[in-house]
Structure 1
Amino acid sequence: MRLAALLICLATPALAQPTADIVILGEVHDNPHAHLGQAAALTALRPTAVVFEMLTAEEAAKADADRTQIASAWEASGWRDFPIYAPIFDALGDARIIGAAAPRDAVRAVYGDGAAALFGPDAPRFGLDQPLPDEQQAARQALQFEAHCQAMPLEMMAGMVDVQRYRDAVFARAALEALNTYGPPVAVIAGNGHARTDWAVPALIALAAPDVTTHATGFVEAASDTPFDDVQIVPPVDREDPCASLTSK
């Protein structure tokens, strides 16, 4: 075990271990404390496979085939800050590395063609062929409006919601395929928005495969009403206001 992995075990509070087929571990992307918590959870869970939001299938296959290529696969993905994600990879053990990042061209095409068309024949299984209930649609557009600093018209957020639904379905499908291939438990590493139990990855897994059990942990910087099965509050990090450049005059 690397020293970093040992420090994870010593520095991170023990988590209650869920007994679920698929465990979704949310995160604040730029918070290293969240990633230490995820790494500790993986060390205890010992999953058969870990599905990553950040890597495409091709990038993950490269990293899985040769663990010395993990950092270069990460760089190719375009995600920054590999050092704060490194503890997660140190904690993988024998777990397979699965990529679930949708290609950028596909994500862009969602705006024109719709999530169901891009997803393919399985779209009804994950509910992509149906509109969201009005209340949920409005709530999700409002969240996207805030996440994008209110810098674009609210009506443009409908496309953002479609993209989020598409990506959630891609992650859920990848987790179910990993479960079918490698057996339980499977872990998913993704942002907290993808881990919420009401409409994100856990909800889509429940829709597509009702017999599959899930457990979602949110690693968050402050208490909120976002629904998870359990919440781990991690120390916040200092960061610049992401909206400053868009809202300053």
Structure 2
Amino acid sequence: MILRALAIFATIGPAAAQNLPPADVYVIGEIHGNPAHHATQARLVAHIAPRALVFEQLSGAQADRISPDARRNAATLGPLLDWDESGWPDIALYAPIMAAADAPILGAAGEAGDLSAYDLDTALPAAEQQEREALQAAAHCDALPTDLLPDFVARQRAIDAQFAARTLDALDRYGAPVVLITGNGHARTDWGVPAAIARVRPDLRVVAIVQGEGEPTVPGDIVLQADAPPRDDPCAAFR
């Protein structure tokens, strides 16, 4: 469901956070590695005060290592979660999000479990399939063989369903609201985690917040903008 869109540059302030619509689930997107996006996620989590906090970046086994008395700072969480081996940006970007609420931390990654309720075997409309394949090609620097693109689309659909299932597990276990921290591609309202949740639990109120870097973004209920940090061209090696 599309509630509204807000264009806010830099970090979100207290007044903007207080304008969040009520929801059972907040899906807060990011461009991985943008410090402003992660700072905004921490501010939003502090305002929402979720009953559970679910991370794309963690498996269930990793999240289980975070005991209630563990210090939620980078020095503690980095070694505890084997973060340097994870491939994700610096733990210093994510630790403040984990520390922004006292809620249990859960992982969305890992074993998928039963996803049959999400109709993953149903073919997508042709136009959507084509658009998804084009996005996968662009995301991989147009270096993928075209015959692999349908498999990458199917994998993305399965990941969205898995993240939705893990988020709903957290909601059923701890109550509302629950926050999912994830990339913008999973936060998009048209076919990401919010759409997967709507397929199996249409009664729930889900608010998706996506964050851009000044350019048009994927669809979201709320759109926030921040400056892009300096970064190398990820496709340079393919040229």
Normalising by structure 2, what TM-score?
A: 0.87
Q: Distance in 1 between matches of 2:105 and 2:217?
A: 31
Conserved? CA contact 2:68–2:104, under 8 Å: no
Q: Give the structure 1 partner of residue 132 of structure 2.
A: 140
Q: How does 1:202-221 map to 2 (within 5 A)?
A: 202-221=194-213
Bigger proportion of residues as helix: 1
Q: Distance in 1 between matches of 2:82 and 2:135?
A: 28
Structure number with the bigger relative contact order (C-alpha 8 A, sep ≥ 6) is: 2
Shift in alpha-carbon separation, 1:74–1:168, aligned structure 2, 3 A? farther
Tell me the matched-pair count. 220
Q: How does 1:1-249 map to 2 (within 5 A)?
A: 12-14=12-14, 15=17, 16-68=19-71, 69-72=76-79, 73=81, 75=83, 77-92=86-101, 94-102=102-110, 119-120=113-114, 122-123=115-116, 125-247=117-239
Structure 1: give runs of 5+ residues left out of the alignment. 1-10, 104-117
> Deviation string for 1:171-230 (max 9, x for gaps)?
000111111110000000000000000000000000011111100001111231521001
Conserved? CA contact 1:119–1:166, under 8 Å: no
Q: Distance in 2 between matches of 1:51 and 1:246?
A: 34
Q: What is the DSSP-based 3-state SS (H/G/I as helix, E as strand, rest coil) of the residue aligned with 2:124?
A: coil
Give how far 1:244 is off: 0.1
Q: Distance in 1 between matches of 2:123 and 2:113?
A: 15
Give how far 1:87 is off: 1.6
Q: Distance in 1 between matches of 2:103 and 2:91?
A: 19
- Give the root-mean-square deviation of aligned CA atoms: 1.7
Q: Distance in 2 between matches of 1:28 and 1:142?
A: 19
Give how far 1:66 is off: 4.8
Q: What is the DSSP-based 3-state SS (H/G/I as helix, E as strand, rest coil) of the residue aligned with 2:66?
A: helix
Matched to 1:70, the amino acid is L
Conserved? CA contact 2:28–2:180, under 8 Å: yes
